[in-house]
Amino acid sequence: MNMPKKNLLFTFLFLFAMGFTAFAQDAKPKASPAATATGKVGAATITVAYSSPSVKGRTIWGELVPYGKAWRMGANEATTFTTDKDIKVQGKTLKAGKYSLFAVPGQKEWQIIFNSQTGQWGVTRQGANFDPANNVLTVLVKPRKSAKMNESLVYEITPKGLFLKWENLEVPVAIK
């Protein structure tokens, strides 16, 4: 009589394990997965944490991301920029700390905005979710055509600064 109970318990555990495994395999990857770029510029360690959307056949600049409107520089939550040392961004001082990163893209020039409020969702019905009163630094940069097509948004930190690369565009931000 103990044997069937043992078999029943074994069967139940086996089926539970198989169902759990099947459920885990059905989990779909996020449309805009979380990503992080970290690097050194001089003595400073810089980290950009963002969600990386994909092109998926869409026109990004001027359509999905409109010109002249503030953008969270990624998907989902607002992108964050952290530096452990004071740095110069496009020749202007940015104190060590953690900031939300926004941009106002244009065809020939972009505003890059460092905002002291962090942790907010990236957009509301009114647009990018940030209070301009918390802007710490705004710099102007010039976008350029990238050397290759980038299906997913990517940030790179090099000894020269920060680079946003997505679709056929590259946006360099000089840091020293």
Residue 25 belongs to a domain? no
Q: Which residue has the tokens 């962090």?
A: 118
The pLDDT tens digits for 84-97 are 999 999 999 999 99
Residue 20 belongs to a domain? no
Give the confidence band of 32 by pLDDT, cuts at 50, 70, 90: confident
CA angle 92, 138, 131 (to 5 degrees): 140
Residue 81 belongs to a domain? yes
pLDDT of residue 131: 82
Grouping H, G, I as helix, E, B as strand and the rest as coil, residue 86 is coil
Q: Is the pLDDT of residue 17 over 70?
A: no
Residue 166 belongs to a domain? yes
Give the confidence band of 4 by pLDDT, cuts at 50, 70, 90: low
Rounded Cα gap, residues 16 and 13, in angstroms: 5
Rounded Cα gap, residues 118 and 100, in angstroms: 5
Residue 51 belongs to a domain? yes
Across the chain, mean pLDDT equals 86
Q: How many domains does the chain have?
A: 1
Q: Is the pLDDT of residue 123 over 70?
A: no
Give the confidence band of 160 by pLDDT, cuts at 50, 70, 90: very high
Residue 9 belongs to a domain? no
Q: What is the pTM assigned to this prediction? A: 0.79
Residue 50 belongs to a domain? yes
Give the confidence band of 118 by pLDDT, cuts at 50, 70, 90: confident
Half-sphere exposure of 1 (CA within 13 A, CB side): 0
Residue 21 belongs to a domain? no
CA angle 110, 115, 119 (to 5 degrees): 120
Range of the domain at 74: 30-174
- Count the neighbouring beta carbons within 10 Å of the beta carbon of residue 113: 23
> What's the token pair of residue 166?
């997505």
